[in-house]
Amino acid sequence: MDSFQAMPQPQAEQMLEELYDLVCKDIRGLRRLVKQNDVLPFYRNTLPPKAQMRQPAPGETVRMRDQIDFLNALVAEADQLTDLLPRLAARQRIPQNLDNYEKSLEFARCVVRIKELGVDWEIATAGIGEVNINEAKRILQEGDKPGILTENELQILREDVKVWEEGLPAAKAAWEVVLQKSISPTNV
């Protein structure tokens, strides 16, 4: 079932960067501002940390639970950012002398990250292969050829199918709620 070959890390990062650029084309100037200033230590980033998928130990594979947990982390990050965006927008309108640039930068970071989250979500949901889950269901339903999968591997398949069936619809529904909130006219 794991015939998928992972893309080399530098190539994957470059492709992700290109996808971010395509999605952020309407805010390219903001994204450029954020990238240029993120290397400067005196402009601290107070946004929530970027969601990360748990990295498996050597010899361990990424399980469905890890993927669903990552989707839920993306939802939580998007929810925090969409709640924060109106406050950052209002804060940068208040005239103050010292940190207007830093306030604008934080607002820009938030806008850019919300756009990038859409890419992260699409990649993560595309990575949860329905084909693999359907194959796992078929194996469990029909029974596997003797000697190919151990009882432990069959149990892992059962668990992954259960997590997928329970966790994915809930994560997608939560994403839709956050998405609706982010496009609400009261949000900025």
DSSP annotation string for 126-171: HHS-HHHHHHHHHHHHH-PPTTTS-HHHHHHHHHHHHHHHHHHHHH
| Reported confidence tier of residue 103, pLDDT bands at 50, 70, 90 | confident
Q: Any idea which of 33-42, 81-90, 139-148 has the lowest mean pLDDT?
A: 139-148
pLDDT in tens, 36-87: 888 777 777 889 999 999 888 888 888 889 999 999 999 999 999 999 999 8
As a whole number of angstroms, the distance between CA 25 and CA 18 comes to 10
pLDDT value for 89: 85
Q: How confident is the model at residue 144 (pLDDT cuts 50, 70, 90)?
A: low
The yes-or-no verdict on residue 98 having pLDDT over 60 is no
**How many residues are listed for the chain in this entry?**
188
- Mean pLDDT, all residues of the chain: 84
Asked whether the beta carbons of 137 and 160 are under 8 A apart, the reply is: no
Distance, CA of 21 to CA of 31 (rounded, Å): 8
User: For the chain, how are helix, strand and coil distributed in percent, rounded to 5?
Assistant: 70, 0, 30
- Beta-carbon count within 10 A of 175 CB: 20
Q: What is the DSSP letter of 98?
A: S
**Helix or strand holding residue 60 (H, E):** none
Q: Which residues are within 8 A (CB) of 127 and not within 5 positions of it... i.e. 6 or more apart?
A: 67
Amino acid, res. 2: D
